[in-house]
Amino acid sequence: MLDNRRETGREGRQERVRKKIWGTDACPRLCVFRSLKHIYAQVISDEIGATLVSASSLSQELKARKTKKLEVAKEVGALVARACKEKKITRVVFDRNGFLYHGRVKALADAARESGLSF
Protein backbone atom coordinates (compact mmCIF):
# COMPACT_ATOMS: atom_id res chain seq x y z
CA MET A 1 0.00 0.00 0.00
CA LEU A 2 2.87 2.35 0.74
CA ASP A 3 4.26 2.06 -2.78
CA ASN A 4 0.87 2.92 -4.28
CA ARG A 5 0.58 6.11 -2.21
CA ARG A 6 4.16 7.07 -3.04
CA GLU A 7 3.55 6.55 -6.76
CA THR A 8 0.32 8.57 -6.80
CA GLY A 9 2.09 11.37 -4.92
CA ARG A 10 4.79 11.44 -7.58
CA GLU A 11 2.15 11.51 -10.31
CA GLY A 12 0.46 14.50 -8.63
CA ARG A 13 3.76 16.39 -8.45
CA GLN A 14 4.40 15.44 -12.08
CA GLU A 15 1.07 16.91 -13.21
CA ARG A 16 1.62 20.09 -11.20
CA VAL A 17 5.04 20.67 -12.73
CA ARG A 18 3.93 19.73 -16.26
CA LYS A 19 1.42 22.60 -16.22
CA LYS A 20 4.31 25.06 -16.01
CA ILE A 21 7.09 23.33 -17.94
CA TRP A 22 6.71 23.12 -21.70
CA GLY A 23 9.41 22.05 -24.14
CA THR A 24 9.62 24.01 -27.37
CA ASP A 25 11.75 23.38 -30.43
CA ALA A 26 14.14 26.14 -29.32
CA CYS A 27 14.28 24.94 -25.70
CA PRO A 28 13.13 21.31 -25.35
CA ARG A 29 12.34 19.51 -22.09
CA LEU A 30 14.90 17.15 -20.49
CA CYS A 31 12.72 14.55 -18.75
CA VAL A 32 14.24 12.10 -16.26
CA PHE A 33 12.74 8.80 -15.11
CA ARG A 34 14.32 6.83 -12.31
CA SER A 35 13.45 3.22 -11.54
CA LEU A 36 15.00 1.04 -8.86
CA LYS A 37 17.61 -0.38 -11.25
CA HIS A 38 17.92 2.06 -14.15
CA ILE A 39 17.71 5.73 -15.08
CA TYR A 40 16.41 7.20 -18.33
CA ALA A 41 16.66 10.68 -19.86
CA GLN A 42 14.79 12.06 -22.86
CA VAL A 43 14.89 15.43 -24.58
CA ILE A 44 11.35 16.10 -25.75
CA SER A 45 9.81 18.79 -27.93
CA ASP A 46 6.22 19.20 -26.77
CA GLU A 47 5.34 21.34 -29.80
CA ILE A 48 5.72 18.42 -32.19
CA GLY A 49 5.28 15.71 -29.55
CA ALA A 50 8.50 13.90 -30.36
CA THR A 51 11.57 12.67 -28.54
CA LEU A 52 14.65 14.36 -30.00
CA VAL A 53 17.37 12.61 -27.96
CA SER A 54 17.34 9.80 -25.44
CA ALA A 55 19.85 8.00 -23.24
CA SER A 56 19.56 5.41 -20.52
CA SER A 57 21.54 3.08 -18.32
CA LEU A 58 20.43 0.27 -20.65
CA SER A 59 22.60 1.53 -23.52
CA GLN A 60 25.28 -0.88 -24.69
CA GLU A 61 28.25 1.24 -23.61
CA LEU A 62 26.95 1.60 -20.03
CA LYS A 63 25.36 -1.81 -19.60
CA ALA A 64 28.67 -3.67 -19.92
CA ARG A 65 30.26 -1.82 -16.98
CA LYS A 66 29.62 -2.80 -13.38
CA THR A 67 29.42 0.51 -11.52
CA LYS A 68 27.31 2.11 -8.84
CA LYS A 69 23.96 3.66 -9.74
CA LEU A 70 25.09 7.21 -8.93
CA GLU A 71 28.06 6.89 -11.30
CA VAL A 72 25.80 5.45 -14.01
CA ALA A 73 23.46 8.44 -13.61
CA LYS A 74 26.41 10.79 -14.16
CA GLU A 75 27.39 8.89 -17.30
CA VAL A 76 23.81 9.00 -18.62
CA GLY A 77 23.77 12.78 -18.06
CA ALA A 78 27.01 13.18 -20.00
CA LEU A 79 25.71 10.87 -22.72
CA VAL A 80 22.48 12.81 -23.23
CA ALA A 81 24.42 16.10 -23.29
CA ARG A 82 26.78 14.72 -25.95
CA ALA A 83 23.83 13.57 -28.06
CA CYS A 84 22.23 17.02 -27.69
CA LYS A 85 25.41 18.71 -28.89
CA GLU A 86 25.33 16.53 -32.01
CA LYS A 87 21.78 17.74 -32.70
CA LYS A 88 22.83 21.34 -31.92
CA ILE A 89 20.68 21.60 -28.78
CA THR A 90 22.37 23.74 -26.14
CA ARG A 91 19.50 24.92 -23.93
CA VAL A 92 16.86 22.72 -22.27
CA VAL A 93 14.24 22.89 -19.51
CA PHE A 94 14.78 20.31 -16.76
CA ASP A 95 11.82 18.12 -15.81
CA ARG A 96 12.51 15.96 -12.77
CA ASN A 97 9.22 14.13 -13.41
CA GLY A 98 7.97 14.33 -9.83
CA PHE A 99 11.14 12.87 -8.31
CA LEU A 100 13.07 14.72 -5.64
CA TYR A 101 16.03 16.73 -6.94
CA HIS A 102 18.44 14.59 -4.96
CA GLY A 103 20.76 11.65 -5.51
CA ARG A 104 20.71 10.15 -8.99
CA VAL A 105 18.44 12.82 -10.47
CA LYS A 106 20.76 15.58 -9.24
CA ALA A 107 23.84 13.67 -10.43
CA LEU A 108 22.37 13.34 -13.93
CA ALA A 109 21.51 17.05 -14.05
CA ASP A 110 24.96 18.13 -12.82
CA ALA A 111 26.72 15.89 -15.34
CA ALA A 112 24.56 17.26 -18.16
CA ARG A 113 25.44 20.81 -17.11
CA GLU A 114 29.16 20.02 -16.95
CA SER A 115 28.98 18.50 -20.44
CA GLY A 116 27.60 21.69 -21.96
CA LEU A 117 23.82 21.78 -21.57
CA SER A 118 22.39 24.88 -19.95
CA PHE A 119 19.25 24.88 -17.81
Each residue's pLDDT tens digit, 26-45: 999 999 999 999 999 999 99
CA-to-CA distance for 80 and 101, rounded, in angstroms? 18
pLDDT at 74: 96
Q: Is the pLDDT score of 3 beyond 90?
A: no
The CATH code for residues 2-114 is: 3.30.420.100
3-class SS letters over 6-48 = HHHHHHHHHHHHHHHCCCCCCCCEEEEEECCCCEEEEEEECCC
Please give the single-letter amino acid code of residue 6.
R
The number of CA neighbours under 13 Å toward the Cβ of 86 is: 10
Q: Quick one: pLDDT band at residue 17, thresholds 50, 70, 90? A: confident
Sheet with 50-56, side-by-side order of all strands:
50-56, 39-45, 29-34, 93-95
∠ Cα 65 108 45 (to 5°): 115
**Amino acid 66: pLDDT:** 74
| pTM, entire model | 0.88
Residue 21 has pLDDT above 90, yes or no: no
Any idea where the domains of the chain sit in the sequence?
2-114
